[in-house]
């Protein structure tokens, strides 16, 4: 596995592992808790050193899972987690990034992760009620106290990133980015390049769609988040099939998978990008890791760059409520 360097010299595996789906969002987990611990430890054995979780995943149980699984190899891995939600009775009911809340979350996350320090602490969503300067200052105090190593933001606007970075250096920004979600390109990526901040794309495989394993005939299980996303309506899946067919055809010509092509395209965008595809299967971890070995020519990259604009992408990437929380 190749490594990549985010901001402030934080070195991570070129492909990380998003752990959310092990606890929520994609229907019942076909594996047991012990199976997921096996996947997490197996990922380390295959060179993955970058793991992404959050207090709200579950809530709480995903951090506990990641903490237990990675405790024996804690000094070999980078664990990112997140703050920023107001969680009551086991459910997020709104945003809360007040400094006192950030401190409480940090202590609780450290306990669940069985760690002395949080490697990368993201604000999960920008809280309009708390100036980003106060958020950056609170995380900076946690860094000074040795409880946090690096500060990150998720789904933030370029101007917000600049304001935060002026108070305490931002190491990484996490947002959705893939062949069919190009939102960060006009504003966010240029800001990151200017400030020397790394970028961590989540859902780099389009929540499964870009792997070719989801099509118009797919039936989603109860509780699968994709049932709430306009882009995954039956009509939009049919309209978007042409895009994944194109990626699949290129993959076949290169003796690769569609998912590997999608990840290789992302890796080719900038050397400070480290995607975090999620999975619950070790064979997918292996497949995703192998994307680091897939070379795409300049012509192939150009064709993929133009693909979404040429073919078009139908449907928003979030429902209306969640769209209102991004790009702030």
- In angstroms, rounded to a whole number, what is the distance separating the alpha carbons of residues 276 and 19? 9
CB-CB contact of 16 with 50 (8 Å)? yes
- In angstroms, rounded to a whole number, what is the distance separating the alpha carbons of residues 54 and 109? 8
Q: Angle at CA 33, nearest 5°, toward 219 and 121?
A: 90
Orientation of helix 99-113 relative to helix 61-70, angle to 10°: 40
> Does the annotation mark 177 as catalytic?
no
Q: Are strands 50-52 and 17-18 parallel, antiparallel or unpaired?
A: parallel
DSSP secondary structure, 140-204, as one string: HHHHHTTSEEEEEEES--HHHHHHHHHHS-EEEEEEE-BTTB-TTTTTHHHHHHHHT-EEEEEST
DSSP secondary structure, 208-250, as one string: GGGGT---TT--PPTTBGGGG-GGGSHHHHHHHHHHHHHHHHH
- In angstroms, rounded to a whole number, what is the distance separating the alpha carbons of residues 291 and 265? 9
Token pair in block for residue 252: 């076949």
One of 26, 57, 122, 177 is an active-site residue; which one? 57
Residue 287 has φ and ψ, to the nearest 5°, of -60, -45
Orientation of helix 234-253 relative to helix 258-269, angle to 10°: 80
Terminal Cα-to-Cα distance of the chain (whole angstroms): 34
Backbone Cα Rg of the chain: 19
- Per 3-state DSSP, the chain is made up of helix, strand and coil in percentages (nearest 5) of 50, 15, 35
Q: Catalytic residue positions?
A: 57
């Amino acid at each position: 596995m190749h490594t990549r360097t985010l901001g402030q010299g934080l070195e991570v595996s070129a492909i990380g592992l998003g752990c959310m789906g092990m606890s929520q969002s994609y229907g019942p987990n076909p594996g047991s808790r012990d199976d997921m611990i096996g996947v997490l430890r197996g990922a380390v054995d295959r060179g993955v050193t970058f793991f992404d979780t959050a207090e709200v995943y579950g809530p709480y149980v995903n951090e506990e899972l990641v903490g237990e699984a990675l405790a024996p190899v804690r000094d070999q891995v980078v664990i990112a987690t997140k703050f920023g939600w107001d969680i009551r009775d086991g459910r997020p009911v709104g945003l809360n990034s007040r400094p006192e809340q950030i401190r409480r979350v940090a202590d609780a996350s450290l306990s669940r992760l069985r760690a002395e320090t949080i490697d990368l602490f993201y604000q999960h969503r920008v809280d309009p009620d708390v100036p980003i300067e106060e958020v950056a200052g609170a995380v900076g105090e946690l860094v000074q106290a040795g409880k946090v190593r690096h500060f990150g933001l998720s789904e933030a606007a370029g101007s917000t990133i600049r304001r935060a970075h002026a108070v305490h250096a931002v190491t990484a920004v996490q947002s959705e980015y893939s062949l069919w979600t190009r939102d960060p390109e006009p504003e966010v990526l240029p800001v990151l390049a200017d400030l020397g901040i790394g970028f961590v794309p989540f859902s780099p495989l389009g929540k499964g769609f870009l792997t070719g394993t989801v099509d118009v005939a797919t039936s989603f299980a109860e509780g699968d988040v994709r049932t709430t996303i306009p882009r995954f309506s039956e009509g939009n899946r049919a309209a978007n099939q042409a895009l994944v067919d194109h990626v699949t055809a290129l993959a076949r010509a290169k003796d690769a998978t569609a998912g590997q092509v999608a990840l290789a395209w992302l890796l080719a965008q900038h050397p400070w990008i480290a995607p975090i595809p999620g999975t619950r299967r070790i064979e997918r971890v292996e497949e995703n890791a192998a994307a680091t070995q897939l070379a795409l020519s300049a012509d192939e990259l150009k064709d993929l760059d133009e693909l979404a604009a040429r073919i078009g992408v139908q449907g928003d990437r979030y429902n209306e409520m969640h769209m209102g929380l991004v790009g702030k």
